[in-house]
């Protein structure tokens, strides 16, 4: 595997890293992560295509771009990958609303499934897609046997629209599946939030898609405010500091759900992912040191398949973590770098939802407020 990275910053493209003997004509895959307004102004597809004419080119908007051990904003980071032993296939699905999310997952799996499929990367619109339904359909179609990871595109903290493109300039309503095929490709995963739970688990008794109306016998927003105490006066902004963990059944591992908005009239809360009736939820609170340490733990977990350092690490973290960590955001990327060492190429972005397996399971989940890491190596 040989890799070149380019950055568009301050109106100019420049090479920021390149491995030995890299040949742009042999690149099979380019992952380009950029701030939405920068992508709209730059329309970078043709420039990238001219550089890497044989490549499948995936472009998506972000809530922050990750390169090396730093976090950028208002840039485009393009990572061009020349595989030695791996074949790349891609598929694009366009949707008009979130009700088409499950069928989109089925279409992606049908297009990519093969005996030598090693992993699927998913880059999805982050505003119009029900990520939970998308991932559930992918899991079912692949029979939980194929590692799946990736993320939902972001739009800084604006939440206006997100963009994704495959072999074209990015636009709304697009989901891209990337299949990597090889017997020798090693793939690792790690994901962790680092949030502290408090209070008992309670049952969701009334909800619709991602809107939570009732927990137990109380209105969701009322009980949430009880737990927040003095922070309740700082809603909706304070919600980023107090996400919920959610388990669909008692046997499931908990996933974190970000609160996007609150409704004082209906006393409800809207989340970045499904909150199904009957699920078990628990309140969580931020501890900045634990959030940063979680990134290092996720990186360590992603090393399990490797004897040494992986060649490439894809980091997808949540916009909520970026907003909570503030000036300390780069520390979670630095924590991953400390685990990988200097030889691993790192790229990634801040998202509206993270896609990854957890705790060694192949079955993937939609996460919020986590650092998820996918590692790849042909060595």
pLDDT digits (tens, 9 = 90+) for 196-215: 988 899 999 999 988 999 99
Side-chain-facing half-sphere of 316: CA atoms under 13 Å: 31
Q: Which two tokens stand for residue 136?
A: 């559930």
Reported as type and span, the H/E element at residue 354 is strand 353-357
Choose the weakest-confidence range: 168-172, 230-234, 279-283, 289-293.
230-234
- pLDDT exceeds 90 at position 332: yes
Mean predicted lDDT score pLDDT of the chain: 93
In whole angstroms, give the CA distance from residue 316 to residue 73. 15
What mean pLDDT comes out for the span 314-337?
95
**Residue 360, pLDDT above cutoff 80:** no
Grade residue 234 by pLDDT with cuts at 50, 70 and 90: confident
Average pLDDT of the segment spanning 353-370: 83
Q: What is the pLDDT of residue 162?
A: 96
Q: Per-residue pLDDT for 348 more than 70?
A: yes
- pLDDT tens-digit series, residues 13-60: 999 999 999 999 999 999 999 999 999 999 999 999 999 999 999 999
Does the pLDDT of residue 358 top 80, yes or no? Answer: no
Q: For residue 359, is pLDDT > 70?
A: no
**What does the block give as tokens for 274?**
């499904």
Q: Angle at CA 119, nearest 5°, toward 115 and 121? A: 135
Q: How far apart are CA 198 and CA 228, in angstroms?
A: 11
pLDDT class for 273, splitting at 50, 70, 90? confident
Q: pLDDT-derived band of residue 218, with 50, 70 and 90 as boundaries?
A: very high
If you average pLDDT over residues 153-158, what whole number do you get? Answer: 92
CA distance 15 to 35: 18
Reply yes or no on whether the pLDDT at 97 is more than 90: no
Torsion of CA 151, 194, 340, 14, to 10 degrees: 50
Does the structure show a pLDDT above 80 at 108?
A: yes
Q: Above 80 in pLDDT, residue 169?
A: yes
- The pTM for the full model equals 0.91
Q: What is the DSSP string of 72-136?
A: ESS-EEEEEEE-SS-EEEEEEEE-SSGGGHHHHHHHHHHHH--TTEEEEEEEE-SSS--HHHHHH
Determine the pLDDT at residue 361. 66
CA separation for the pair 121, 302 (Å, rounded): 15
Across 315-336, average pLDDT: 95
Tell whether the model's pLDDT for residue 3 goes beyond 90. Answer: yes
pLDDT of residue 357: 85
Residue 252's pLDDT is what?
83
**Cβ proximity of 113 and 177 under 8 Å:** no
Q: Give pLDDT, residue 253.
A: 82
Q: Tokens for 184?
A: 């020798």
Q: What percent of the chain has pLDDT over 90?
A: 78
E-strand ranges in 169-311 read 174-181, 186-192, 196-208, 211-215, 218-219, 244-247, 255-257, 259-263, 268-271, 280-285
Q: What is the pLDDT of residue 308?
A: 86
């Amino acid at each position: 595997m040989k890799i070149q990275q380019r950055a568009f910053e301050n109106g100019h493209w420049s090479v920021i890293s390149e491995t030995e003997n890299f040949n742009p004509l042999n690149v099979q895959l380019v992952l380009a992560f950029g701030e939405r307004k920068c992508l709209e102004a730059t329309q970078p597809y043709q420039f990238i295509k001219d550089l890497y004419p044989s490549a499948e080119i995936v472009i998506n908007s972000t809530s922050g771009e990750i390169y090396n051990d730093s976090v950028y904003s208002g840039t485009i980071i393009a990572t061009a990958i020349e595989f030695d032993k791996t074949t790349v296939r891609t598929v694009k699905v366009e949707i008009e609303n979130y009700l088409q999310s499950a069928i989109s997952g089925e279409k992606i799996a049908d297009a990519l499934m093969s005996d030598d499929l090693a992993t699927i990367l998913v880059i999805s619109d982050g505003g119009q897609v029900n990520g939970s339904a998308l991932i559930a359909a992918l899991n079912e179609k692949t029979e939980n046997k194929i590692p799946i990871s990736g993320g939902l595109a972001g739009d800084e903290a604006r939440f206006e629209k997100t963009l994704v493109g495959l072999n074209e300039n990015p636009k709304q309503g697009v989901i891209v599946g990337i299949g990597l095929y090889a017997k020798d490709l090693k793939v690792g995963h790690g994901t962790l939030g680092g949030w502290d739970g408090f209070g008992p688990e309670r049952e969701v008794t009334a909800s619709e898609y991602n809107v939570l109306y009732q927990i137990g016998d109380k209105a969701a927003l009322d009980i949430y405010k009880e737990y927040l105490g003095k922070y309740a006066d700082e809603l909706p902004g304070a919600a980023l500091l107090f996400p919920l963990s959610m388990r669909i059944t008692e046997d499931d591992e908990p996933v974190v759900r970000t609160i996007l908005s609150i409704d004082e009239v209906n006393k409800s809360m809207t989340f970045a992912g499904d909150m199904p009736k009957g699920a078990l939820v628990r309140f969580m609170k931020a501890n900045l040191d634990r959030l940063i340490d979680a990134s290092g733990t996720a990186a360590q977990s992603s090393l399990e398949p490797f004897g040494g350092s992986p060649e490439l690490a894809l980091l997808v973290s949540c916009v909520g973590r970026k907003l909570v960590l503030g000036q300390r955001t780069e520390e979670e990327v630095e924590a991953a770098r400390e685990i990988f060492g200097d030889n691993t190429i790192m790229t990634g972005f801040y998202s509206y939802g993270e896609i990854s397996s957890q705790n060694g399971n192949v079955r993937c989940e939609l996460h919020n407020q986590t650092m998820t890491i996918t590692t790849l190596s042909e060595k």
